[in-house]
Amino acid sequence: MQDVQDIVFKVYENVHLEEGIVVLKNFLVNAYMYRGTSVKEMSRMLNLPVPVVSAIKNEFKKNGIVDLSNGIGLTKNGEIYVKDVLGYKNADTDVLKDILENTGIDLSRFEKEIEELGAIYQNRPEVDVEVDQSKCTAETGMKRAVLMLKSGCLIGKKIACIGDDDLTSIAIVLLLKHIAVSDNLSGMADITVFDIDKRILSYIKKVSEEYKIDIECIQHDLCNPIDNQYKNKFDCITTDPPYTLNGLNLFLSRGISVLKKESNLSVFLSFAHKTPQIRFLMQQLFVNEGLILSNIYPKFNVYEGAQILGGVSDLMILTTTAQYTKELISGIFSDEIYTGKFKQTIRTYECKQCSEKYLVGMNQKITTIEQLKSQGCLKCPANKFNLIRKG
Amino acid sequence: MQDVQDIVFKVYENVHLEEGIVVLKNFLVNAYMYRGTSVKEMSRMLNLPVPVVSAIKNEFKKNGIVDLSNGIGLTKNGEIYVKDVLGYKNADTDVLKDILENTGIDLSRFEKEIEELGAIYQNRPEVDVEVDQSKCTAETGMKRAVLMLKSGCLIGKKIACIGDDDLTSIAIVLLLKHIAVSDNLSGMADITVFDIDKRILSYIKKVSEEYKIDIECIQHDLCNPIDNQYKNKFDCITTDPPYTLNGLNLFLSRGISVLKKESNLSVFLSFAHKTPQIRFLMQQLFVNEGLILSNIYPKFNVYEGAQILGGVSDLMILTTTAQYTKELISGIFSDEIYTGKFKQTIRTYECKQCSEKYLVGMNQKITTIEQLKSQGCLKCPANKFNLIRKG
């Protein structure tokens, strides 16, 4: 199949799309899934102008990949490429279409998988709050996997989970099983998990073996750079980092380091809904990393137990650009990243008696609660305070 | 009502929320609409942690605005404030709840308004392509108004339309009429339109008079700063600027200049779905203007006629921050802003004979089509080219 692979690169050289080679692959997948589709419909699916789609179509035709005898279809070579290289061989296209054509994410068709995932989640290792672990629900895990599928970031893709205490990797496996024609899931996606916690890695390893798919599990402290052998290799990353700016910066940086240097690759980022100031600083960080914020799904993730804001977080899809995307942290990182240890957290305390509020934290007039207690309230004689807000 | 107004500011001083005074107003509106609601439910509605909502509640209680005898409700003073100052006097809360509680935007309940709006749109002035005018559909106009309502940016708000060839102002009026108990729409929202085109302004003026609501129509070339009397006065802006980075920068800057200097105010921005590079530069611009990209609605807007990408554009909600939001352009702007005149547009031409592609535009090796024609194709003897992409 090296030949067709080469042709896709050659076509990319010719049409030189800013949207990246991934769009050419999507073109072929659409031609496979929706044989006979029109240029206009393809333009809508790819979100590209009609003349650009026309140019792509003609280039593929010239190279014997696309068959235009009846709308846009694939030649035999094109079909082999989509099946073998792009990973669609074992995918049931009817099941797939059913999911893709549904606007939004309809979980009702995944009841069986959610139940199965729920049982697997039940037995996962206890959370280690020291490293900001928390457990998302089985529904959330499945929603994430479906969103990745619908975004074209699952089948045939090389996926890196940058931290995976949520077992998103396993949710992906269950979704693949849902789509697969045969039991053999290998080749449908290539998943690698980087996590600091050996317990989680061995649990993922054990479960994945039961599903006869190989998930590569790397024990790794993300404060250290990821090994060179994994650099520039992945099509997509998913991460739910510690909810601090340092944590975000570090996990995104490590994620970028393993992503291919291509345009239009996706980062599935889960993060708490922060105050406007922090959200602004997050977006400044995205820009500094050269990432585009392409989609925002408010309150997408639901967690067990976590009580801040009722245990929900947002999911964002960030998109790479060929020109700008670059990790900000490339060496060893030695600052704090976890919320509990994070010295810059600003807490708001309220005087128990008169309700006067005080900001406490690094760079504030009062840096610790002990200091606040020893000075006492400035408005009344009390020196007892309630914590009313963190972060 | 100055008293209660003062109390809201006083409470804001005390709880000093980064989310801005607008959250306190929303708290009162929710207490009015959902009398008896719980702190937990209020926390969910405001997207704020429970302890913060508790603190707000207690402050309002202390100041005699909120009544806690049975869940969260309003005192008589609080109710007068919400009705008279926050503009809810003439709003039918059942109709309102029905719209707000519907996830997404269900246009079926606005069939009558869409028909009415369609007739008004029919008679609007012809588009002037020189200034990048285009006509969105009546459905799009209504969707925008409903989105503003659902985002808490319509009732009682001072709204500026920064350019309004789409007649969004009129769509808002029709939505207000849908919600209103009586025919008197004044006081429900305060709309000002800034546009360069006198024909559009006089049409808006004429239609608004038929609906007995006063829309202030200001003829203004946005290349000049907006008059000081309008600065720092508005709660919300809506704009569909020329689809160039200059156009975006200019319209956002003028919009920011008329917005109050508060946190958490919204900019409803419609803009074409651009290439990754341009989308990145747009987001860099948002960060430089100190705005947060809070929501993205892909393909939200549909336009009549416009054929690029099937005549659709995205809608984004940008949010102000108290610390960072600042217009980048404050003086007279003399660069090009319209797509047709915009020298930096990069066009892709294809050789008619061999399909070789050439990028043409400012900062490219070839800056004009004339230059390309005179040099001819580098791969074959032809010198005729098709334009296959703009932008």
The string of pLDDT tens digits covering residues B140-187 is 999 999 999 999 999 999 999 999 999 999 999 999 999 999 988 888
Residue A332, in any domain of the structure: no
Does B20 contact chain A (CB < 8 Å)?
Answer: yes
Percent of chain A, pLDDT > 90?
Answer: 67
CB A47 to CB B309 under 8 A? Answer: yes
The string of pLDDT tens digits covering residues A86-95 is 999 999 999 9
The string of pLDDT tens digits covering residues B14-61 is 887 888 999 999 999 999 999 999 999 999 899 888 888 999 999 999
Strand, helix or coil for residue B20: coil
Which pLDDT band, with edges at 50, 70 and 90, does B350 fall under? confident
CB B293 to CB A308 under 8 A? Answer: no
Q: Are A262 and A322 in contact (CB under 8 A)?
A: yes
Give B144's contacts (C-beta < 8 A, 6+ positions apart).
Answer: B136, B166, B168, B171, B238, B268, B270, B300, B301, B315
How much is the pLDDT for B357? 84
CB contacts of A62 in chain B (<8 Å) are: 355
Residue A342, in any domain of the structure: no
Residue B95: φ, ψ to 5°: -60, -45
Residue A329, in any domain of the structure: no
The radius of gyration of chain A's CA atoms, rounded to the nearest angstrom, is: 24
The string of pLDDT tens digits covering residues A81-129 is 999 999 999 999 999 999 999 888 999 999 999 999 999 999 888 877 7
Residue A351, in any domain of the structure: yes
Say yes or no: A110 and A37 in one domain: no
Say yes or no: B281 and B360 in one domain: no
How much is the pLDDT for B9? 87
Distance between A90 CA and the closest CA of chain B, angstroms: 31
> Edge-to-edge strands of the sheet including B190-195?
B135-136, B291-304, B312-320, B266-271, B236-239, B158-162, B190-195, B216-219
Task: Look up the CATH number of the domain holding residue B293.
Answer: 3.40.50.150
CB B294 to CB A296 under 8 A? Answer: yes
Instruction: Report the C-alpha gap between B251 and B195 in whole angstroms.
Output: 11
Which pLDDT band, with edges at 50, 70 and 90, does A285 fall under? very high
Residue B57, in any domain of the structure: yes
CB A58 to CB B355 under 8 A? Answer: yes
CB A276 to CB B319 under 8 A? Answer: yes
Say yes or no: B247 and B115 in one domain: yes
B385 forms beta bridges with B351
Percent of chain B, pLDDT > 90?
Answer: 67
Say yes or no: B352 and B224 in one domain: no
Residue B339, in any domain of the structure: no
Distance between B42 CA and the closest CA of chain A, angstroms: 11
Residue A302: φ, ψ to 5°: -120, 135
Say yes or no: A163 and A308 in one domain: yes
Say yes or no: B311 and B259 in one domain: yes
Judge whether residue B337 has pLDDT over 90.
Answer: no
CB B18 to CB A276 under 8 A? Answer: yes
Residue A267: φ, ψ to 5°: -115, 120
Say yes or no: A133 and A272 in one domain: yes
The string of pLDDT tens digits covering residues B278-295 is 999 999 999 999 999 999
Q: Are A33 and A96 in contact (CB under 8 A)?
A: yes
Q: How confident is the model over A14-23, as a mean pLDDT?
A: 87
The radius of gyration of chain B's CA atoms, rounded to the nearest angstrom, is: 24
Q: Residue B332 to residues A204, B223, B253: CA-CA distances in angstroms?
A: 60, 6, 11
Does B378 contact chain A (CB < 8 Å)?
Answer: no
Q: DSSP E strands: which ranges in B240-363?
A: 266-271, 291-304, 312-320, 347-351, 357-360
Query: Mean pLDDT over all residues of chain A?
Result: 90
Instruction: Report the C-alpha gap between B57 and B53 in whole angstroms.
Output: 6
Say yes or no: A172 and A275 in one domain: yes
Q: Identify the weakest region by mean pLDDT among A103-112, A290-299, A380-389, B170-179.
A: A380-389
Query: Mean pLDDT over all residues of chain B?
Result: 90
> Which of B14, B53, B287 to probe by mutation at the A interface, max A CB count within 10 Å?
B287
Scanning A23-82 for CB atoms below 8 A from B yields: 40, 43-44, 47-52, 54-55, 58-59, 62
The count of domains in chain A is 3
How much is the pLDDT for A309? 45
Say yes or no: A72 and A99 in one domain: no
Q: How confident is the model over A309-313, as a mean pLDDT?
A: 72
Say yes or no: B314 and B197 in one domain: yes
Q: How confident is the model over A310-315, as a mean pLDDT?
A: 85
- Higher-pLDDT residue of B212 and B259 is B259
Instruction: Report the C-alpha gap between A325 and A323 in whole angstroms.
Output: 6
Which pLDDT band, with edges at 50, 70 and 90, does A357 fall under? confident
Distance between B10 CA and the closest CA of chain A, angstroms: 13
> B136: burial class by Cβ within 10 Å (0-12, 13-18, 19+)?
buried
How much is the pLDDT for B348? 84
Q: Are B243 and B271 in contact (CB under 8 A)?
A: yes
Judge whether residue B130 has pLDDT over 80.
Answer: no
Instruction: Report the C-alpha gap between B25 and B2 in whole angstroms.
Output: 15
Q: Which residues of B188-201 are buried (b: 16+ CB within 10 A; e: fewer)?
A: bbbbbbbbbbeebb
Identify the closest residue of chain B to A299 by CA–CA distance: B47
Domain termination site, one of A86, A112, A128:
A86
How much is the pLDDT for A308? 47
Q: Identify the weakest region by mean pLDDT among A75-79, A190-194, B356-360.
A: B356-360
Domain termination site, one of B86, B102, B127:
B86
Q: What is the DSSP secondary structure assignment for residue B85, as one 8-state letter?
A: I
Which pLDDT band, with edges at 50, 70 and 90, does A343 fall under? very low
How much is the pLDDT for A1? 53
How much is the pLDDT for A391? 59
CB B280 to CB A263 under 8 A? Answer: no
How much is the pLDDT for B201? 97
The string of pLDDT tens digits covering residues B297-321 is 999 999 886 554 458 899 999 999 9
Judge whether residue A364 has pLDDT over 80.
Answer: no
Say yes or no: B255 and B366 in one domain: no
Residue B325, in any domain of the structure: no
Task: Look up the CATH number of the domain holding residue B67.
Answer: 1.10.10.10
Q: How confident is the model over A284-292, as a mean pLDDT?
A: 97
Domain termination site, one of A86, A105, A124:
A86
CB count in 10 Å sphere of residue A106: 11
Instruction: Report the C-alpha gap between B99 and B109 in whole angstroms.
Output: 9
Does B354 contact chain A (CB < 8 Å)?
Answer: no
Strand, helix or coil for residue B175: helix
Q: Identify the weakest region by mean pLDDT among A150-159, B180-189, B344-353, B359-368.
A: B359-368
CB A284 to CB B284 under 8 A? Answer: no
CB contacts of B280 in chain A (<8 Å) are: 287, 290, 292, 321, 323-324
* Residue B231 one-letter amino acid: K
How much is the pLDDT for B305? 67
CB count in 10 Å sphere of residue A272: 20
Q: Are B200 and B124 in contact (CB under 8 A)?
A: yes
Instruction: Tell me which residue range forms the domain holding A165.
Output: 94-320
Instruction: Report the C-alpha gap between B172 and B281 in whole angstroms.
Output: 31
Residue B125, in any domain of the structure: yes
Judge whether residue B343 has pLDDT over 70.
Answer: no
Say yes or no: A108 and A252 in one domain: yes
Instruction: Please tell me whether the interface predicted TM-score (ipTM) of this complex is above 0.90.
Output: no
- Higher-pLDDT residue of B25 and B356 is B25
Q: Are B126 and B134 in contact (CB under 8 A)?
A: no
The string of pLDDT tens digits covering residues A166-187 is 999 999 999 999 999 998 888 8
Instruction: Report the C-alpha gap between B363 and B345 in whole angstroms.
Output: 10
